[in-house]
Amino acid sequence: MTSRAVFRALMGFYLLVFFAYLFGPLVIMGITAFNTSAYPQIMPFEGFTLDWFGVLWNDKDMIYGLKNSLWIGLLVVLVSVPVGFAGAIVMTQVYDRARAFYYLVVVSPVLTPGVIIGISTVVFWRQTTQATGLKFIYDGTVLTVLAQSSFISAYTMLIFLARLARFDRTLDEAALDLGATRAQVFRHVLIPFMAPAIGSAAVIAFLSSFENYNTTTFAILADKTLTTVLAGRVRQGTTPALSALAVAVVAVTVAGAILYELLKRREAARAEARAEAAHRAEVEELNAGPVAA
């Protein structure tokens, strides 16, 4: 055997082990959701059932937590998309040391453990609300939105920065020369250009919020979200109903991820088609040129 064949065999084996590690636990968990056995197991497979999904649907805490999670996710999107957007635009308009300092401040939440963001938010608002009487802020849902948005805004900002790096400033100037006001340029030039990134940022923000546990477990106080209810259940003991929930969540999130991926691809394909059409038009113009002359 040549050394190349050995390498190929090794690589194949490695890929097999890697994807087994990545999917094995999830697949096994998925199978336990459909086994009648009261303990989550795949061997012996006692019989196929969908009962565990029914158990889930009747679990009031979980449904309550789910509603709360969806609500918080929506609010986080509403806060972190505009804030991340503003953050990215300001980043392109400061320079030098001011920029380095600004970058350090707004990127730091990405590099801070989630538990610490949750803790500091709760501590700060407990003190502030006691001093000022703004009692409504010291509430699990509000604090969770504030704490999560603190780092999710940094995620969305990074997404917007990547898109802004490709923005052509001359578009701005052209619009201004044609008599548009600053606000009109923002509304009709910049926002449409950023639209795909706004979509991505909203999806990422919602999913990050929905699945977050580390920050939420502190910031939610006595309230509940789906992940905190879930963590409590898993600590109490393992039941196939949790596997059923996992299957449901995985199905929804994977469907969402695939949809997102497809939308992104369609956007890319459209951009490509547009570029090609422009190129073709240019070529035709060149070809047609001499004839017309």
> H helices of the chain, where?
3-32, 51-57, 60-91, 96-107, 114-132, 140-164, 169-177, 182-185, 191-211, 214-219, 226-236, 240-292
How many residues at the interface with another protein, by CB under 8 A?
95
CB 240 within 8 A of CB 32: yes
202-231 residues in contact with another protein (CB under 8 A) are 207, 211, 213-214, 217-218, 227, 230-231
CB contact set of 239 (below 8 Å; sequence gap of 6+)? 38, 39, 40, 52, 55, 233
> Which stretch in 46-54, 178-186, 192-200, 284-292 sits in contact with another protein by CB under 8 A?
178-186
CB of 48 to another protein, least distance (A): 18
Q: Considering beta carbons, is residue 10 or 277 the nearer one to another protein?
A: 10
105 is a site residue for another protein (CB under 8 A)? yes
When binding is defined by CB under 8 A, the residue of 1, 5, 131, 293 that contacts another protein is 131
Q: Is 110 in the site for another protein (CB under 8 A)?
A: yes
CB of 202 to another protein, least distance (A): 15
Per CB under 8 A, 242 contacts another protein: yes
If the CB atoms of residues 74 and 176 are measured against another protein, the closer one turns out to be 176
Query: Residues 150, 200, 209, 225: which binds another protein (CB under 8 A)?
Result: 150
Question: Cα–Cα distance between 148 and 117 in angstroms, integer?
Answer: 8
Q: Are 26 and 32 in contact (CB under 8 A)?
A: no
Among positions 38, 258, 268, 278, the unique one binding another protein when judged by CB under 8 A: 258
- Collapsing DSSP to helix, strand or coil, 35 comes out as strand
Quote the least distance from Cβ 287 to another protein, whole Å. 31
Residue 15 found at the interface with another protein (CB under 8 A): yes
CA angle 255, 210, 193 (to 5 degrees): 70
Q: Give least dist CB 288 to another protein, A.
A: 35
Strand partners, 35: 48
121 binds another protein (CB under 8 A): yes
| Burial of residue 117 (number of CB atoms within 10 Å: 0-12, 13-18, 19+) | buried
Q: Are 113 and 213 in contact (CB under 8 A)?
A: no
Chosen residue from 16, 116, 273, 278 binding another protein by CB under 8 A: 116
